[in-house]
Amino acid sequence: MIRVGDKLVLSLWDEASATTEIGPVTRGEGVPPVTLAHNVGTKVEVDMVVAEAKTAGAAIVAEPKAREWGGYSGYFADPDGFRWEVAWNPGPVGQSVL
């Protein structure tokens, strides 16, 4: 994770770890190999934001759940196919972007 601004962090993943968390990573046609993240302060907020996205018509990519890295997150796809992560990250970097 690299801090690139006040409340903005760039996270770089190796492909195997990304695939484990978000599913297949593609090149060319298909889903862009990029995710955008929205960090929230609690697990309950993760559930609420993902449910709100679903109600608005977003496709749920991964239901919210506890993650190996210690946080809790879920993913949805926007109309252009970009994956959004809604995350609660209990670590210092996660808490600094709230």
Query: Tell me, what CATH number does 38's domain have?
Result: 3.10.180.10
Structure tokens at 10: 């760039």
Cβ(61)–Cβ(18) below 8 Å: no
Q: Mind listing the pLDDT tens digit for each residue in 18-67? A: 778 777 777 767 666 778 888 899 999 999 999 999 999 999 989 999 99
Domain count, the chain: 1
Q: Which helix (H) or strand (E) holds 90?
A: none
Pairing of strands 2-5, 72-77: unpaired
pTM of the model: 0.78
Higher pLDDT, 97 or 64: 64
So what's the pLDDT on residue 56? Answer: 94
Domain carrying residue 52 = 2-96
Q: Which amino acid is at 22?
A: I
Structure tokens at 7: 């409340």
